[in-house]
Amino acid sequence: MPDFFASDALLPTGWARDVRFAVDARGDLVSVAAGATADGAERLAGPVLPGLADLHSHAFQRAMAGLGERAGPQGDNFWSWRDIMYRFIRRLAPRDVEAVATQLYVELVRHGFTSVCEFHYVHNDPDGERYDVPTELSDRIVAASAASGIGLTLLPVLYQASGFGGTAPNDGQKRFVLDDDSYADLVERLVRRHRGDPQVCVGIAPHSLRAVTPPALKAALAMLDRLDADAPVHIHIAEQPKEVADCKVWSGTTPVDWLLANAPVDRRWCLVHATHVTPAEVDAMAKRHAVVGICPATEANLGDGLFPFGDFLKAGGVFGVGTDSNVSTSPVEELRWLDYGQRLVHLGRNVTHRPEGASTGAFLFERARAGGAQAAGRRTGALTPGYRADFVVLDDGHPALVGRAPETLVDAWLYCGNANPVRDVVVGGQWVVREGHHRHGEQAAADFAKTARKLLA
Ligand SMILES: [Zn+2]
């Protein structure tokens, strides 16, 4: 594979000039040298950033974005939205899952996400029966990631109950439910198939403490440890006040407190939507070095609430951002709203990172980059040897960025306008987006249009 060359690149040590990247046949960086020459290398035609990981996605929900925005008979909230989602899901065929996921992943890559963590919970057919090929729908997600070029952390979801303490699942949940053995079989097939694949990592996602009983959680963790003791574990944890209240009735304590006391939560874990937490829980999550997964656009759309982000940063917590329901597909919107939520609550500007002169955008990008990569469980998100050659090339002639020094580019990218100034994207050393055009973009859009018309008819 030829080397790549960038006039400006954001390395772990900061912005560097005249950087040459050597990439091996697997798509990993083998050397990164600043102050180098461009002879014979492929030129990256703008400032280069490492790609971000989207740490939380439910791909199929991309096709229902905007469908839940009409007022219902009573107050609308997360739970009424979920009823719409359950009705929508009944129509999804395997090819629909693939078409929607492919379109979504193309959009994510075009906006600068080079990895995605797919919290994948539709496993069964519309009648709740398993497909003849047990990995049918997981395979569709893998196919979508391959077509789009995005790096994938596939997180098959364990979902067995409709409420705390193992309440029987309801009819809307039958496409999600697998017993312990079927779930172990699914995960094992996927782990074995993708072992050593630099573009696909397989972990697990116990859906939530609402949907998984303590014995099932324990069994799933033990099963994963036998297959891959480093694989990531993601869970929805405290998205809704009702969820916290129900957990207290069931266990006498809150979901985060229960989980930290009863599971080996550490840096391989990602706690998604740790929205409703106490100050003690904020400190405890930070001490465990688990990633907190924040999905600002979706959490706003669903009326979930605001995570106490400032307190978590003060405690030294690790975070990343996710697009979750995929009402937005851009890291700009997620990071911008993560910060704007804090500005609105604290009635001030640049409140998330206070040292005088420090860049808020660069700080948010750097932390989300590191936390996202940790949650993905893949060697990505850093332009350094041994990591994936995932480059996001900005268009420095774009009106949002023109004339900016490299050190101010991320602020301009995150806080200026709505147009997308991502010019090129290389994932694992392969060109995926060139001059704004995704290599599979037209086909993905055509397939998605067919599926969307069918689903929405
Ligand atoms: Zn979610």
Q: What is the average per-residue pLDDT within 185-189?
A: 98
Where does the pLDDT of residue 351 fall: very low under 50, low under 70, confident under 90, or very high at 90 and above? confident
Q: What is the pLDDT of residue 67?
A: 80
Is a pLDDT exceeding 80 seen at residue 79? Answer: no
Is a pLDDT exceeding 90 seen at residue 90? Answer: no
Q: What is the pLDDT of residue 402?
A: 95
Q: What is the pLDDT of residue 356?
A: 82
What separation in Å is there between the alpha carbon of 78 and the centre of ligand 1? 11
Q: What is the pLDDT of residue 302?
A: 87
Q: What is the average per-residue pLDDT within 240-258?
A: 96
What separation in Å is there between the alpha carbon of 429 and the centre of ligand 1? 30
Is a pLDDT exceeding 90 seen at residue 81? Answer: no
Q: What is the pLDDT of residue 141?
A: 98
What separation in Å is there between the alpha carbon of 386 and the centre of ligand 1? 30
Sign of CA dihedral 343, 347, 353, 357: positive
What separation in Å is there between the alpha carbon of 400 and the centre of ligand 1? 32
HEC assignment per residue over the chain:
CCCEEEEEEEECCEEEEEEEEEECCCCEEEEEECCCCCCCCEEECCCEEECEEEEEECHHHHHHCCCCCCCCCCCCCHHHHHHHHHHHHCCCCHHHHHHHHHHHHHHHHHCCEEEEEEEECCCCCCCCCCCCCCCHHHHHHHHHHHHHCCEEEEEEEECCCCECCCECCCHHHCCCCCCHHHHHHHHHHHHHHHCCCCCEEECEEECCCCCCCHHHHHHHHHHHHHHCCCCCEEEECCCCHHHHHHHHHHHCCCHHHHHHHHCCCCCCEEEECCCCCCHHHHHHHHHHCCEEEECHHHHHHCCCCCCCHHHHHHCCCEEEECCECCCCCCHHHHHHHHHHHHHHHHCCCCCCCCCCCCCHHHHHHHHHHHHHHHHHCCCCCCCCCCCECCEEEECCCCCCCCCCCHHHHHHHHHHCCCCCCEEEEEECCEEEEECCEECCHHHHHHHHHHHHHHHHC
pLDDT digits (tens, 9 = 90+) for 140-175: 999 999 999 999 999 999 999 999 999 999 998 999
What separation in Å is there between the alpha carbon of 119 and the centre of ligand 1? 7
pLDDT digits (tens, 9 = 90+) for 354-377: 788 889 999 999 999 999 999 999
273 is catalytic: yes
Is a pLDDT exceeding 80 seen at residue 80? Answer: no
pLDDT digits (tens, 9 = 90+) for 294-348: 999 999 998 889 999 999 999 999 999 999 999 999 999 999 999 999 999 999 8
Tell me the average pLDDT of the chain.
Answer: 95
Distances from the Cα of 227 to the Cα of 86, 185, 193, 203, 380, angstroms = 32, 11, 12, 10, 22
Contact 424, 457 (CB under 8 A): no
What separation in Å is there between the alpha carbon of 86 and the centre of ligand 1? 14
Is a pLDDT exceeding 80 seen at residue 75? Answer: no
Percent of the chain with pLDDT over 70: 100
Residue 87: other Cβ atoms inside 10 A: 12
Q: What is the average per-residue pLDDT within 212-236?
A: 97
Q: What is the average per-residue pLDDT within 45-69?
A: 93
Class in CATH terms, 4-49+383-443: mainly beta
Q: What is the pLDDT of residue 385?
A: 98
Name residues whose C-beta falls within 8 Å of residue 303's C-beta, 6 or more positions apart in sequence.
Answer: 76, 77, 78
Where does the pLDDT of residue 76 fall: very low under 50, low under 70, confident under 90, or very high at 90 and above? confident
Domain ranges of the chain: 4-49+383-443, 51-376
How many angstroms separate the CA atoms of 27 and 178, rounded? 35
Is a pLDDT exceeding 90 seen at residue 70? Answer: no
Is a pLDDT exceeding 80 seen at residue 353? Answer: no
Least Cα distance to 122 among 78, 92, 83, 166 occurs for 92
How many angstroms separate the CA atoms of 41 and 49, rounded? 18
Is a pLDDT exceeding 80 seen at residue 254? Answer: yes
Catalytic entry in 273, 276, 438, 440: 273
What separation in Å is there between the alpha carbon of 443 and the centre of ligand 1? 28
What separation in Å is there between the alpha carbon of 328 and the centre of ligand 1? 14
Name residues whose C-beta falls within 8 Å of residue 133's C-beta, 6 or more positions apart in sequence.
Answer: 139
What separation in Å is there between the alpha carbon of 351 and the centre of ligand 1? 27
> Does the domain spanning 51-376 belong to CATH 3.40.50.720?
no
Is a pLDDT exceeding 80 seen at residue 69? Answer: no
Is a pLDDT exceeding 80 seen at residue 91? Answer: yes
Where does the pLDDT of residue 408 fall: very low under 50, low under 70, confident under 90, or very high at 90 and above? very high
What separation in Å is there between the alpha carbon of 295 and the centre of ligand 1? 9
- If you search the block for the tokens 């500005």, which residue do you land on? 343
Instruction: Report yes or no on whether pTM surpasses 0.95.
Output: yes
Is a pLDDT exceeding 80 seen at residue 237? Answer: yes
pLDDT digits (tens, 9 = 90+) for 261-279: 999 999 999 999 999 999 9
Q: What is the average per-residue pLDDT within 33-60?
A: 97
Which tops the pLDDT comparison, 80 or 422?
422
Least Cα distance to 375 among 322, 334, 296, 304 occurs for 322
Catalytic entry in 8, 324, 339, 424: 324
Provide the CA 203 distance to its chain's centre, in angstroms. Answer: 13
Taking ligand 1, which is a single-atom ion, which protein residues have CB atoms under 5 Å away? 324
Is a pLDDT exceeding 80 seen at residue 450? Answer: yes
What separation in Å is there between the alpha carbon of 150 and the centre of ligand 1? 19
pLDDT digits (tens, 9 = 90+) for 282-298: 999 999 999 999 999 99
